[in-house]
Amino acid sequence: MKGGDTAETAPMIDPFGRHVSYLRVSVTDRCDFRCVYCMAEDMTFLPKREVLSLEELDRLCTAFIDKGVRKLRLTGGEPLVRKNIMSLVRNLSRHIESGKLDELTVTTNGSQLARYAKELYDCGVRRVNVSLDTIDADRFKAITRWGDLGKVMDGIRAATEAGLRVKINMVALKGVNEHEIIPMLRWCHEHGYDLTLIETMPLGEIDGDRTDQYLPLSLVRARIGEEFTLEDIPYKTGGPARYVEVKETGGKLGFITPMTHNFCESCNRVRVTCTGMLYMCLGQDDSADLRAPLRASEGNELLYEAIDEAIGRKPKGHDFIIDRRTKQPAVTRHMSVTGG
C-alpha cells in the first residue's frame, strides 16, 4: 500500500498491474424474460434473505467508489424489475454529482424502460444498453419466451426521448438470428443507436445446446465486410467491445468476442452478484464473499480488506470454452446470477 493510502482509499491494482475502475453490480437474479441462451424456463430464483438489500447495495457500491471505481453499471437479471430500484439509482447519483463517479449506466432488456427512462435521466444516467437479439416479433417471442417486442420498442423510444443514448446488444446465435444481423445494423444506425454483437458464452445450464448456437464473430465480421466498409477505431466505453465505424452509415459497431479473441489483457472490470459475491473474472469460478463482511459490522474495514484480498487474486484471463464432448458450460452459474 502506498504511503498515505488507507484500505479505504487504496486503488485496486490486480497482480498484472491492471487498475480496476469499473464495477458491474447485479441488483437481482430475477427477470421478466427467459431468454433461451441465458436461463432455463423453470428457473429457481434466490430466496430474498440471500439477496442484498438496496441499502446494502448502496453501501457496497460506495465502498468500491471510495476505492477508485469510476464507472458503475447496474445489471441483473433485469435490474428494473427490482422493487424500488429507482431509490438505489437516485442514491447512487450523489456520486455523479460529487464527481467521484464518471458514469452510472444500466443494462436492461427494455421491458420497463418506458416507465423509468425519464427518471433514469434525472438521476444522472446518460446511456443504457438494451439487450435485443431480433426485431422480428415472432422470433423475439421464441428467443425470450416471455417477452413482448412492442413494450421493448416503446421503452427504447422513451429512452431516446428522455435524452438517453441507446446501445443495442445483440447475441449472435447460429441458425437463429444470424441472417438478421445486417438488417439490425441498418435499423440501429438509422435510429442513431450503436450496435454491439456478442458471441454466446458458456455460462450456466440451459435447455438448449450451445454448440449449436455458437457463431464466431470473425465470420460475422467478414460477412458484414462484404456489404459495408468497416474501419477499426480506438473508441472505448470501458467494456470489452472492440469497435469499428461503418463508413456507409457513420454508426459504430462493436464486437465482444470472448471465444474467438478474448479481451482479458485490458480487463479493468469486476462483478458483484446480488448476493454480494465478488467475481474477479466472468469466466472463472473464483469469488469472494462480500456479504459476510458487509453484514458483520456497521463499519467498512472488513469490507475493504475483503475487496483488497480478492483483487489480489484477479486472474490474467478467462477459460471460456464450449466443450463439444460433454456439452457442459465452462462455468455452471447462469449469466443472470453474475450480471451481464
150: enclosing H helix or E strand: helix 149-162
Quick one: average pLDDT of 130-150?
94
Cα–Cα dist 307/12, whole Å: 8
Angle (CA) 83-84-85 rounded to 5° is 90
Is 38 annotated as a binding-site member?
yes
Cα–Cα dist 33/290, whole Å: 28
Q: What is the DSSP letter of 46?
A: P
Q: Cell triple for residue 337?
A: 446470477
Would the pLDDT of 71 be above 80?
yes
Q: What is the DSSP letter of 297?
A: -
Q: pLDDT tens for residues 234-290?
A: 998 877 889 999 999 999 999 998 765 555 666 888 999 999 999 988 667 789 999
Is 37 annotated as a binding-site member?
yes
Is 204 annotated as a binding-site member?
no
- Residue linked to cell 439487450: 131
The long-range contacts involving 113-118, CB below 8 angstroms and separated by at least 24 positions, are 113/80, 113/152, 113/154, 113/155, 113/156, 113/158, 113/159, 114/151, 114/154, 114/155, 114/157, 114/158, 115/80, 116/80, 116/85, 116/86, 117/155, 117/158, 117/159, 117/161, 117/162, 117/164, 118/158, 118/162
Is 35 annotated as a binding-site member?
yes
Quick one: average pLDDT of 30-46?
84
The per-residue pLDDT of the chain, averaged, comes to 87
CB-based contacts of 94, cutoff 8 Å, min separation 6: none
pLDDT score at 323: 46
Q: pLDDT tens for residues 141-177?
A: 999 999 999 999 999 999 999 999 999 999 998 888 9
* DSSP letters for 94-137: HHHHHTS-SEEEEEE-STTHHHHHHHHHHTT--EEEEE-S-S-H
pLDDT score at 169: 96
pLDDT score at 16: 85
Contact status, residue 313 vs residue 13, Cβ threshold 8 Å = no
**Residue 35: pLDDT band with limits 50, 70, 90:** confident
Cα–Cα dist 15/34, whole Å: 37
Q: pLDDT tens for residues 11-31?
A: 899 888 989 999 999 999 999
pLDDT score at 201: 67
Q: What is the CA radius of gyration of the chain?
A: 19
| Domains of the chain, CATH where assigned | 22-338 (3.20.20.70)
- Residue linked to cell 455460462: 203
Residue 232: CB atoms within 10 Å = 9
Is 223 annotated as a binding-site member?
no
Quick one: average pLDDT of 66-86?
97
Q: pLDDT tens for residues 167-193?
A: 999 999 888 899 999 999 999 999 999
Is 313 annotated as a binding-site member?
no
pLDDT score at 30: 92
Is 83 annotated as a binding-site member?
no
Is 123 annotated as a binding-site member?
no
Contact status, residue 35 vs residue 144, Cβ threshold 8 Å = yes
Q: Strand (E) positions, 247-314?
A: 252-256, 269-272, 277-279, 287-289
Nearest to 290 by CA among 308, 309, 306: 306
Is 269 annotated as a binding-site member?
yes
pLDDT score at 226: 97
Quick one: average pLDDT of 288-315?
94
pTM listed for this prediction: 0.87
Burial of 33 from C-beta contacts in 10 A (0-12 / 13-18 / 19+): buried
Is 317 annotated as a binding-site member?
no
Percentage of the chain modeled with pLDDT above 90: 67
pLDDT score at 331: 45
Cα–Cα dist 70/268, whole Å: 11
Is 167 annotated as a binding-site member?
yes
**Residue 325: pLDDT band with limits 50, 70, 90:** very low
Percentage of the chain modeled with pLDDT above 70: 85
Nearest to 173 by CA among 184, 165, 162: 184
Quick one: average pLDDT of 313-319?
70
Q: pLDDT tens for residues 196-244?
A: 999 886 544 545 555 577 889 999 999 999 999 999 999 988 778 899 9
Is 61 annotated as a binding-site member?
no
